[in-house]
């Protein structure tokens, strides 16, 4: 019983060399571009469950268990896998958390796909309960010093207040800086783009088209490399090929962008959107400095909340993490998507490779109870500014 690389790719085989049914079905859900190494790691986790099931319930029993949707046995298998991996991790002083994550994904992804698509199905409800139960399971050899990726509620709230160009807490001296930094904050928080991607945006990056299905105009941010001359010493660039993408953008944010571009952006020949006081494209280091200035304006309560996460300041990338957690929460809680489908949506939105494991990093944090409230509070700052400008957000 092991994972072998066949002509068609890696496969999970039983002792007789026969492909395991449900592991084979699971593999059909993966992107065609998935690497052999990633496929083998996932299938080894499935093979562990097959081995345990053979020991507990008899040879070739796991395929029967999954076909029947026997939730009691599935629970027993996951418990056994959890304890086995935890003991092995401690004895080997290794980190086997990924293996358990893959084992869970094998069960949840395959079962959710082929058993009772209806949200009221007993199997679906039971799987959701199991998924919640095992989401926080830790099989590492030692307790990991992991930072919660989403920013604390109070920190996101205060960032919304500090970056609001009309707020007395705004630390930036000129109207041009205040509006530029407010736009930067909203781009990072709502689009989840990387620091370098924001520095690459030009005045032509946002475009509109008429959506026949919705009967209205929709807006997108085009995240791409530019052929424009860039004199920055550390010229930004896209991280991977998957980073090239089009992201839907709210009309309210488009209006904020328009106010900055028309009324507050320095006149310059460069097409890059975000400019310094010297009318040059904003550098990634200058973007870091913007957030250092914002952090300096935090209340004692916000500083304490950061300290509990063992942070001293907020970085631009923290907003990308926060955006990922919030979008995962909306996909799963708001739209009722399975974690597997929600993870795929995140890969497309955030420019991750099709087989990237990055979405799994956010599954533990998305259940923070007040995170969504903080997100909404920060975005309300946009609407308040629009109202101050005499623009009714309801008409957008």
Give 126-168 pLDDT, tens digit per residue.
656 655 655 555 555 444 444 446 788 889 889 999 999 999 9
| pLDDT reported for residue 67 | 86
Q: Which two tokens stand for residue 96?
A: 């086997």
Between 99-108, 164-173, 244-253, the lowest mean confidence (pLDDT) is in 99-108
pLDDT tens-digit map of 280-316 = 999 999 999 999 999 999 999 999 999 988 888 899 9
Domain boundaries, the chain: 2-135, 153-395
pLDDT at 371: 53
Confidence of residue 328 (pLDDT cuts 50, 70, 90): confident
- Strand order of the sheet with strand 245-249? 206-211, 216-223, 245-249
Strand partners, 246: 222
Residue-level pLDDT at 359:
80
pTM of the model: 0.63
Model confidence pLDDT, tens digit, residues 336-351 = 888 778 888 999 999 9
Residue 39, pLDDT score: 87
The pLDDT tens digits for 200-237 are 999 999 999 999 998 999 999 999 988 778 888 778 88
Least confident range from 113-122, 220-229, 269-278: namely 113-122
Q: Which residues of 147-183 are buried (b: 16+ CB within 10 A; e: fewer)?
A: ebbbbbbbbbbbbbbbbbbebeebebeeebbbbbbbb
The average confidence (pLDDT) of the chain is: 82
pLDDT tens-digit map of 53-64: 998 889 999 999
DSSP assignment, residue 272?
B
| Residue 143 confidence (pLDDT) | 41
pLDDT at 353 (0 to 100): 82
pLDDT at 146: 43
Q: What class is the 153-395 domain?
A: mainly alpha
Strand-pair partners of 348: none
Confidence bin at 74 (pLDDT 50/70/90): confident
């Amino acid at each position: 019983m092991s994972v072998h690389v066949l002509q068609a790719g890696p496969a999970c085989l039983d002792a007789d060399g026969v492909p395991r049914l449900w592991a084979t079905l699971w593999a059909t859900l993966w992107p065609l571009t998935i690497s052999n190494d990633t496929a083998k790691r996932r299938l080894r986790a499935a093979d562990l469950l097959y081995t345990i099931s053979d020991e507990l319930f008899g040879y070739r029993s796991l395929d029967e268990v999954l076909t029947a949707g026997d939730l009691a046995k599935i629970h027993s298998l996951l418990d056994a896998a959890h304890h086995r991996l935890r003991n092995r991790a401690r004895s080997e002083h290794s980190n086997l958390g990924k293996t358990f994550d893959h084992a869970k994904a094998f069960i949840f992804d395959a079962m959710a796909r082929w058993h009772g698509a209806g949200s009221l199905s007993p199997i679906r409800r039971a799987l959701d309960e199991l998924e919640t139960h095992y989401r926080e399971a830790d099989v590492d050899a030692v307790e990991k010093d992991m930072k919660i990726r989403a920013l604390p509620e109070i920190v996101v709230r205060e960032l919304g207040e500090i970056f609001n160009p009309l707020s007395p807490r705004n630390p930036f001296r000129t109207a041009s800086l205040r509006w530029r930094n407010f736009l930067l904050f909203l781009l990072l928080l709502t689009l989840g783009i990387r620091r370098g991607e924001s520095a690459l945006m030009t005045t032509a990056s946002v475009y509109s088209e008429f959506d026949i299905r919705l009967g209205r105009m929709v807006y997108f941010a085009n995240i791409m490399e530019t052929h424009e001359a860039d004199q920055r010493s550390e010229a930004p660039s896209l991280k991977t090929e998957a980073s090239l993408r089009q992201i839907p953008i709210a009309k309210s944010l488009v209006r904020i962008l328009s106010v900055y571009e028309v009324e507050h952006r320095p006149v310059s020949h460069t097409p890059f959107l975000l400019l310094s006081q010297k009318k040059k494209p904003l550098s990634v280091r200058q973007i870091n400095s913007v957030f250092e200035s914002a952090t300096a304006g935090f209340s004692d309560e916000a500083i304490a909340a950061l300290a509990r996460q063992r942070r001293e300041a907020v970085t631009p990338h923290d907003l990308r993490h926060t955006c990922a957690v919030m979008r995962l929460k909306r996909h799963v809680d708001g739209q009722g998507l399975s974690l597997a489908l929600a993870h795929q949506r995140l890969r497309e939105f955030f420019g991750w490779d099709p087989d990237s494991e990055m979405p799994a990093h956010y599954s533990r944090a998305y259940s923070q109870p007040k995170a969504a409230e903080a997100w909404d509070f920060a975005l309300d700052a946009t609407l308040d500014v629009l109202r101050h400008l005499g623009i009714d957000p309801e008409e957008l």
